[in-house]
Amino acid sequence: MRSIAVYSLKGGVGKTTLAVGLAWAAATRSGRRTLLWDLDPQAGASFLLGAGAPGKGRAQAVFAKDVDPARLVRPTAIERLDLLPADASLRGLDRFLFGLGKKKRLLKLISDVGRDYDRVLLDAPPGLTETSEQVLRAADLIIVPVIPSPLSQRALDEVVAFLDGQSLRKGPILPVYSMVDRRRALHRAALEAKPSWPVIPMASAFERISAPGGGVASLPGSSSAAQALFALWAGIEKKLTRLARSN
């Protein structure tokens, strides 16, 4: 089992859509037994995968070990893809984890619930919070969606420097240009400056995922959006393989 976090310092960069899309690619393209753990109190990933909340307070109760996380896991409409949904109780998770004082609680929980899976994807809450720090300590690989602009890249550089200075991350960071519109000169310039970064385009197909009757399973495999997700996931699999060999 390997864990992959999708994390961003700020919202509005396509983080949750990317997390759901990568989980879909893992399950359908690679045939991996995949779990998406929604750790964002907004529960966007849970909504996109068609799940309601697991019950009042139960998402946070997992961290108190009052509830076995495996009991909250739900199958999705996508074969080999399960979901551990979020609920509003996660709004108090930062305070709970700070009081708990166990910096690797999430890592232990992932090890337990991940026994039945090949890949565990974590949709992390935005910002530098106690919860996101737990995510960064636990993940084997950290995917960071970045809007192609100088300010977004500057923010990424600052957060990487902070994380490294505090020794907060376990795995390497893979920045990904998200919501790219090649018609914009600023976007084209950013892509030229970082040609090795993966690119996820701004596509109407992503918008339809959240529409009634949509869902990631409705994403056409031949679309530019799906092809970009598949290419990114293939790169992630290769990186995970190299990490495993180096360990």
Residue type (1 letter), 106: L
Residue 195 has pLDDT above 60, yes or no: yes
- Say how many domains are in the chain: 1
Residue 38 has pLDDT above 90, yes or no: yes
- In CATH, what number is assigned to the domain containing residue 131? 3.40.50.300
At residue 92, the pLDDT reads 94
128/217: higher pLDDT: 128
Question: Considering only 44-53, 137-146, 165-174, 203-212, which range has the smallest mean pLDDT?
Answer: 203-212
State the pLDDT confidence band at 236, using cuts at 50, 70 and 90. very high
The chain-wide mean pLDDT, for the chain, equals 89
- The secondary structure of residue 126, as a DSSP letter, is S
Please give the share of the chain, as a percent, with pLDDT higher than 70.
Answer: 96
Helices (H), 29-80: 44-48, 58-61, 69-72
Tell me the sheet residues that pair with 37. 84, 122
At residue 53, the pLDDT reads 54
Q: Quick check: 9 and 126 in contact, CB under 8 A? A: yes
Q: Quick check: 171 and 243 in contact, CB under 8 A? A: yes
Domain extent at residue 41? 2-246
pTM summary value? 0.92
